[in-house]
Amino acid sequence: MVDGQLVAELVEKYCTTRGYRYSYGTAGFRDDASRLDTVMFATGIIACLRSIALDGRPVGVMITASHNPASDNGVKIVEPDGSMLVQSWESTATDLANLLSSGSAEAIRQKIGQLASSGSGVRPRLVVGRDSRVSGPRLLQCLLGSASSLFQAQIRDYGLLTTPQLHYPTSRSLSMDRSVEEEDYFVDFSSAWNEITRLHDVEGLPCAGLVVDCANGVGGLKIHSFIPRCRVLSGTTTVINDNCSDAESLNRGCGADFVKTNQRLPTGIKETDGDSRLYCSFDGDADRVVFYYLNEDSKFQLLDGDRISALLAYFIAQLLEQSGLRSVLSMGVVQTAYANGSSTKYLQNQLNVPVTCAKTGVKHLHHEAVSNYDVGIYFEANGHGTVIFSDRFHDTVGSQTQDSLATKTLRLLPQLINQTVGDAISDMLAVLAVLSILKWSPSRWGKEFTDLPNLLNKVIVPDRSKFIATDQERRLTSPAGLQEKIDEAVSRFRSARSFVRASGTEDAVRVYAEAATQEEANELSAVVSRLVLESC
């Protein structure tokens, strides 16, 4: 039985934000850090209950707001297999956070007592990490306040980590006969890189060098521990925007979201004539990466998540063909509605690779990839994604008697790619390995297909919940009549499409527009944005 007086004291101490309504987004809670103490206290309870429901298996908790401004923060809950919290528990987390925020003292005591008592007999295990935001330590204490005091949870606090690094020990804790250390992450992925580059006699990158923009986030701290372990990279890589100790510089004028959204170079890189380097940008917690280069006219050229998917699909399809397994193992790409239409046509028509569309959020893409393919490649256009290899893939490739170069490479790829979650460092290595093996320059990669011009716009609305979508978020069912108006607008432009999707973290909607020219895409975006505002 939980002590009601203890519950009251803990709520009084840690849940100072009252009367605020919280919403669970596509990857967890995210908001201004000053309002998250109540959410973190609730998360400690939910994470412990999830661990208890899984007989004490470790559940991960990552305190981060990814690409958001430095003043924000948030939290992600990670399943023992490294995937995101199962959707059926999201409503439980939301309901508890809102009860703690707006419920009566008696209702809160009863609910927490009921939840905590249901876990008697099993001690929960939590794996905890945080990014470099200054609000992280304070919010961690709110999490520990409920997890330790109400559940006596066994907690391993790894301190500053990238989000993928937190997923790593969460998923490995039960498979190793000792505690999982951060060093294991560095060793595993650098060893895979070294082995695959030696196998293919890679002695240099197919460009003048690599420049990594770390968004002044925790990835900047970790990349310096990683690069020296990697052959070829240690002498050819420049790291910029790696000052995670300057809180206000996080994601400011740099990082994957800035580069993708603004279609421009981040702070720290200047346009240089004849520059043949490859650039990449992480986001604040290093679970996204986008690439780019400067063409012969010193013009910025983006290589986003669509390009990463296409590159990996091209390469893996080749390996399967060379190994005689193309017809044996299924391979496909999972995209969201934000994927450029040209990338979809390239995959389907030129590579003969099936494409599935999923709702926005890697938890949805991950599910589709696992459910449909032996090799499931998924990347959101923002650079968040990975490749999933099924048990059938491992059994089939492992049983091949002909140990060809292609077969050996297929065995190594799953070791190089972090399959639990999108990982900027691991994905960067996979892209660099493929480009080096194919001997493709950045411009060669960029010329595989031509993107349709597009624009992603944010429209602030009074209530985003009114915008309800179907067909994997490509069509609206509410507000009534708005979709028909969007369809009519789209019909006036060439090679056009547009859709409206409610934000998962703020009262805003995203308007995506695509057309034959940038001028038409911009005009279509403006028309649809105006229609959205008129419907409010």
Structure tokens at 72: 């924000």
Residue at which a domain ends, from 303, 325, 351: 303
Rounded Cα gap, residues 345 and 352, in angstroms: 10
Choose the catalytic residue: 23, 34, 66, 71. Answer: 66
Per residue in 94-141, pLDDT (tens digit) is 999 999 999 888 898 888 878 777 666 899 999 999 999 999 999 999
Picking from 269, 288, 303, the residue at the C-terminal end of a domain is 303
Radius of gyration of the chain (CA): 23
**Tokens representing residue 510 in the block:** 């995203």
Which of 296, 309, 301 is CA-nearest to residue 279? 301
Q: Are 217 and 132 in contact (CB under 8 A)?
A: yes
Give the torsion sign (CA, 405, 408, 412, 414).
positive
Same domain, 148 and 35: yes
pTM assigned to the model: 0.93
Local structure of residue 536 (DSSP, 8 states): -
Q: How far apart are CA 70 and CA 64, in angstroms?
A: 10
- Residue range 331-387, pLDDT digits in tens: 999 999 999 999 999 999 999 999 999 999 899 999 999 999 999 999 999 999 999
Percent of the chain with pLDDT over 90: 86
Do 37 and 144 touch, CB atoms closer than 8 A?
no
Rounded Cα distance between 312 and 334, Å, is 12
- The annotated binding site for substrate is made up of 380-382, 501-505, 510
Do 69 and 160 lie in one domain? The reply is yes
- Whether residue 372 contacts residue 332, with contact meaning beta carbons closer than 8 Å, is answered with yes
The kind and range of the H/E element at 455 are: strand 454-460
What is the pLDDT, as a whole number, of residue 204? 95
Residue with tokens 């066994």: 154
Average pLDDT, the chain: 94
Q: Among 246, 279, 303, where does a domain finish?
A: 303
Q: Give the pLDDT of residue 478.
A: 96
The residue range of the domain holding 209 is 184-303
Query: Which secondary structure element, helix H or strand E, spans residue 424, and what is its range?
Result: helix 424-438
1 band by pLDDT with thresholds 50, 70 and 90: low
CATH code for the domain of 366 = 3.40.120.10
Q: How far apart are CA 419 and CA 422, in angstroms?
A: 7
The reply to whether 66 belongs to the active site is yes
pLDDT, tens digit, for every residue of 182-230?
999 999 999 999 999 999 999 999 999 999 999 999 999 999 999 999 9
- Based on the fold, state whether residues 321 and 265 are members of the same structural domain: no
Residues that constitute the known binding site: 66, 283, 285, 287, 380-382, 501-505, 510
Q: Name 181's Cβ contacts closer than 8 Å, sequence gap at least 6.
A: 169
Counting Cβ atoms within 10 Å, is residue 53 exposed (0-12), middle (13-18) or buried (19+)? middle
Going by C-alpha positions, the residue among 388, 403, 394, 391 that lies closest to residue 322 is 403
| pLDDT mean over 454-481 | 94
Tens of pLDDT along 8-20? 899 999 999 999 9
* Tokens describing residue 61: 């908790």
Q: How many domains does the chain have?
A: 4
Known binding residues for Mg(2+): 66, 283, 285, 287
